[in-house]
Amino acid sequence: MAYTAQAVERSYDVDVEIGRVSGPELTALPENKNIKRPAPKKAPYFKYAVLCACVFAALMCILTSYNRVNELTTAAAALENQLVELESTANALNAKKEQRFNLAYVEDVAVNQLGMVKLDKNQITYVAISNPEKITVAANDTESTPGLVAGIVKSFNAVVEYLN
């Protein structure tokens, strides 16, 4: 049964003796039995299933992309470590190369390991090439000088070579 409130007067009656307040009166409306009431709606399970599938697919995409980012970060860190190792190896090889091309190192290896000796000034022979097919040896200056002067020059050359 449906009820409606009829408000004829907006004023409330107060019965002071009883202590009751009376308000608008409620009256019953007649029921209409010919009206078709809509059937209660069923829950849209299909929509819920589609929504859950979409959320699951989005979650899988997020997890897959996170996994890919993690793999790329790990690969980048490994490559950075390899780069640091290669740079240190390159620096070591450059230092070794500079040491090998240092004249003091070359001279030390030649004297100590190979047993080589520096030439004296009188052991050096100059060759003059005027014609590429013909080679002539320059005359030795010590043969033309007297024996005493040659000995002094030879001793002087030995002292100069020792000081060098």
Mean pLDDT of 78-102: 94
Quote the distance between the C-alpha of residue 9 and its chain's center.
84
pTM greater than 0.75: no
105 or 10: whose pLDDT is higher?
Answer: 105
Q: What is the mean pLDDT of the chain?
A: 78
Give me the half-sphere count of Cα atoms (radius 13 Å) on the Cβ side of residue 8. Answer: 5
Q: What is the pLDDT of residue 8?
A: 45
Query: What's residue 141's pLDDT?
Result: 53
Cα 21 to Cα 85, 105, 120, distances in angstroms: 95, 120, 140
Q: What is the pLDDT of residue 31?
A: 73
Mean pLDDT of 84-100: 94
Kindly tell me if the per-residue pLDDT of 105 is higher than 50: yes
Q: pLDDT category, 9, cuts 50, 70, 90? A: very low
Sequence ranges of the domains in the chain = 118-163
Q: What residues have CB less than 8 Å from 116, skipping those under 6 apart?
A: 110
Percent of the chain with pLDDT over 90: 31
What is the band of 72 on the pLDDT scale with cuts at 50, 70, 90?
very high
DSSP run (H or E) holding 157: helix 147-163
